[in-house]
A = this chain, B = another copy of it.
């Protein structure tokens, strides 16, 4: 890679790309990709954001820029890098590498000793400078033995940093007046929707960008040092230096192949089937290198002292005599330095590619003897034998892999959606690529609910928690379908009882617990969604018999009289059982009946379809008659039979959750639309708080003091049980996104956006990590409901069965851009409204799908014809308008492949 102008080239990639594809006529006002944004250092970043005001229209609707972080707001940032099921290392707000979770389990707070980037530079005629490539550490500074030496806490750093994260990319600009260089870092992970293989690579990519701002030439080295970590595996294994009993026979080797050079780290101590076995590679395609495979092995701090003295002397690393693998109980640090020489004004990009390979996972989370301690192989281990092989694959394919990743980023972020929405949507999509999720060697996808700090929390594929997420379903639908196969083919017994958790390895033992009403009925709806999104008939046919059993199990267990309302013990996502009638569970049941009706009819099972419809109609009638109190849907139950943990007359944020799912999945209304809207507006009216100072909550605390948030339940008309269901006073981001998107779907855009803004203000970098929304654990799966906000604001829906695509922008409709993804491809949708004219475009960035009809919204004049071109060539079509929806039919279908552009003028 050359040294000249790369920075600009890289930053402008997406804009040029778009310009080429879209042409000038659609060049929208100056809303370039966010990577182009200005670089003035925010001065108010030393304060955690103050949160006293209600949101104004300006707060909610202005600007699609994503926030940046400085000062105290850097403190909690940990931006996860790493593939799906591959674990992570996270980039801290200061440029520090933190939370090394690459060893098949969470490990918040794990740093690796002496693992850091540093720079040496010499301006012609000046004294050299050496700095750790991090911003200065921030308070508190008080550990019992001083700040950690393994984090080289006492070495000089750069003064300040400004962090910007647009998953899967993060950028840090560093500021230090002592330096003759502008220094910034681009870090990213490979994340390509619909490409679940390449999105599962165990890698993190770091690209240092240096620009000489001096009048003299500057030469230097950027060095990455890293402790060989092979041997780390278990909880609590957080080495502060190179000594630990799980280290030994660690070996770092320099490799130099055609387009790849670097260090490979391994250990001979552990057998290849051991969880401690593995390898790490740090490689580059840069050519001018200096390196050392290891530091000295003598006592005290000799190793880092000699390294730092050597490096800061001339930026060159003196070779040390080969000492072979490390002795028992210790490991080595290796350092790879990339040399540069910059004339005034020149720039260079210095890439470091980190890969890892720890094939062996063990079930540490289940107590059942059939599965406890059982081994599992990682999917990536079925593709590559070790970290060097991964590195070679990445380097060889980097151009395409990075291009696709960047196109996803650009399609998502060069949007006219509000910046905080893009932030919410993208940041929580990262959950799929954290330790919450894993893939086994056959490619199957499994997931906890979230992560404790050192172990997954609440295994596995919990049906009711995964009811809320929409990101995996829309970005990696093959992984989502993998979960459906597990739900129905592994966990549903012959009676139709669905275990709502999965034991791994599968089929050895089944989770024994009462079924979850919301989880089981919701999973039938998810099957419908995933079938329609994929258009995959085989997938449906394969699963339908079990799905039918699961649906009809309601008639054995919760709705014996088939009146369309669930009764009896309804275990649910609040970890208790609701009794009596509630829309929270019965809403899913109505949705499942409707989904069942559609699926049965599609597969020719007309009788089942009729039955489901009949029960659905009964249930809907009873619910409307019995549970809607004029403002919202309540729970009816016998307080004598349930002294605890119900909600009764309360206003539940999840009260029309099933309806929300039906809307997302295109099932239409389950309940009276006017009641749904009234219920949603009541949820906002009663459950949205703009201050928590006086909110008395003895349960878990996710919002407090001056924060804003949506409470799970309130009792605006009184009737709060003395012991309402646990979690009722809590605030869950997954529910907030669900309600927010539902509000937007129903036209309460400002209300919905307020909720989204409120969530992200709580995750402001100083209070909490923006890339880790917590509930019962870190990276909590429910938070992936945020993807529905994008769906709601763009009004996007894809139905793969008829090849139907729909857009109905609900914000910035006159000049709109947003990401879309179908079962086969993804890209960006754009529309401009000019008077009565609407110009729209689909720019396909990846994959392929055939569109048979495309519905657009907001054209009130009922147009009769449309001009449609694909890559400039006309496409015949017919137009039909109903209310404000204009549907364009392509009798022959339009197939969009990567790079294709479809333009519509109506």
Which residues of chain B are within 8 angstroms of A301 by Cβ–Cβ distance?
698-699, 726
Contact A156 B302 (CB under 8 A): no
How long is the Cα–Cα vector from A300 to B772 in the complex, in angstroms? 26
How long is the Cα–Cα vector from A465 to B301 in the complex, in angstroms? 22
Contact A141 B767 (CB under 8 A): yes
Among A47, A145, A730, the one with the most B-chain Cβ atoms within 10 Å of its Cβ is: A145
* Chain copies in complex: 2
A837 within 8 A of B: no
How long is the Cα–Cα vector from A304 to B723 in the complex, in angstroms? 11
A46 within 8 A of B: yes
A32 within 8 A of B: no
Contact A451 B144 (CB under 8 A): yes
Given the interface pairs A146-B774, A301-B698, A723-B305, the reply to whether A705 lies near B136 with Cβ below 8 Å is yes
How long is the Cα–Cα vector from A699 to B772 in the complex, in angstroms? 33
The stretch among A555-563, A688-696, A872-880, A895-903 that forms the contact with chain B is: A688-696
A142 within 8 A of B: yes
Q: Main SS of chain A's interface residues? A: loop
A798 within 8 A of B: no
The stretch among A60-68, A147-155, A265-273 that forms the contact with chain B is: A147-155
Contact A48 B155 (CB under 8 A): no
Contact A145 B768 (CB under 8 A): no
Cβ contact of A774, chosen from B137, B143, B453, cutoff 8 A: B143
Which residues of chain B are within 8 angstroms of A653 by Cβ–Cβ distance?
none
How long is the Cα–Cα vector from A157 to B156 in the complex, in angstroms? 40
A822 within 8 A of B: no
How long is the Cα–Cα vector from A450 to B144 in the complex, in angstroms? 9
Contact B140 A768 (CB under 8 A): yes
Contact B697 A309 (CB under 8 A): no
Closest to A773 in B: B142
A312 within 8 A of B: yes
A185 within 8 A of B: no
Which residues of chain B are within 8 angstroms of A778 by Cβ–Cβ distance?
144
Contact A766 B308 (CB under 8 A): no
Closest to A705 in B: B136
A700 within 8 A of B: yes
Which residues of chain B are within 8 angstroms of A46 by Cβ–Cβ distance?
47
Given the interface pairs A46-B47, A139-B48, A726-B301, the reply to whether A701 lies near B144 with Cβ below 8 Å is no
Contact A768 B142 (CB under 8 A): yes
Contact B145 A694 (CB under 8 A): no
Q: How does the 8 Å CB contact mask read for A64-104 relative to B, with 1 for contact and 0 for none?
A: 00000000100110000000000000000000000000000
A623 within 8 A of B: no
Contact B155 A698 (CB under 8 A): yes
A108 within 8 A of B: yes
Q: How does the 8 Å CB contact mask read for A275-292 relative to B, with 1 for contact and 0 for none?
A: 000000000000000000
Which residues of chain B are within 8 angstroms of A304 by Cβ–Cβ distance?
698
- A685-717 residues with Cβ-Cβ distance < 8 A to B are 693-702, 704-705
A332 within 8 A of B: no
Contact A146 B452 (CB under 8 A): no
Cβ contact of A149, chosen from B139, B153, B306, B698, cutoff 8 A: B698
Q: How does the 8 Å CB contact mask read for A106-128 relative to B, with 1 for contact and 0 for none?
A: 00100000000000000000000
Contact A108 B777 (CB under 8 A): no
How long is the Cα–Cα vector from A152 to B722 in the complex, in angstroms? 18
A769 within 8 A of B: yes
Contact A693 B726 (CB under 8 A): no
Which residues of chain B are within 8 angstroms of A146 by Cβ–Cβ distance?
700-702, 730, 774-775
A134 within 8 A of B: no
Q: How does the 8 Å CB contact mask read for A380-416 relative to B, with 1 for contact and 0 for none?
A: 0000000000000000000000000000000000000
How long is the Cα–Cα vector from A707 to B419 in the complex, in angstroms? 38
A645 within 8 A of B: yes
How long is the Cα–Cα vector from A730 to B147 in the complex, in angstroms? 11
Contact A142 B47 (CB under 8 A): no
- A637-678 residues with Cβ-Cβ distance < 8 A to B are 644-645
Closest chain-B Cβ to A696's Cβ sits at a distance in Å of 5
Contact A699 B767 (CB under 8 A): no
Closest chain-B Cβ to A891's Cβ sits at a distance in Å of 54
Closest chain-B Cβ to A73's Cβ sits at a distance in Å of 10
